[in-house]
Structure 1
């Protein structure tokens, strides 16, 4: 009886780590990186543009920007989603140690800044509307 209990208690941490690993892999598979991560100038924070799973609440092919601390390696535990939108291009730029600017070339829908402040990081959103290109006028027939 005691041997089974010891084996179970010995395997319990391993099973917990395995479950956490499966959760992390599933989260990263459902939220793949859309472009390389952008670390802050002092590398204390990282901004990640990730594709979001399809949802009736989101526009098709939506992207999200997540902000995390440098050492927050397990993204699935506390993902800080700060922006969501359907954009042709999402650009994240650090304008200082604690100022992140997200630029969205709007494709469709209404992009949303979900959090303007994460810990001490101020987040700003710039939306570039997608205008249709004008066609050249037709030549006059003479």
Structure 2
């Protein structure tokens, strides 16, 4: 093994943050479905709700296995804790509802591809 190969083997390979990607929560019959897209360069988080629209934010704080971003509409903090194939999205309490958490699964392909394939934003029947 050459010295260069040895040094390259010791160099840690930077892995993508576990929150980067697309996640989906498919709501039940009377629930909202939620899509989450997280990207870098530039940092952007987008929440898509099946009942009223979306929230886009570039005010992101990163931690090792989680991130949080500011909702530009009401300036509340949305939290996301990530694992390899899943994420837990926590929406803050408001005057109408208490804090809520949603277990989301990572999608293969973009949210748009998943919607075409399985209709993630339609309620389960």
Same fold flag (TM > 0.5): no
**TM superposition score normalised by structure 1:** 0.23
With a CA cutoff of 8 Å and minimum separation of 6, indicate the structure with the bigger relative contact order. Answer: 2
Report which of the two has the higher share of helix: 1
- Structure with bigger gyration radius: 1
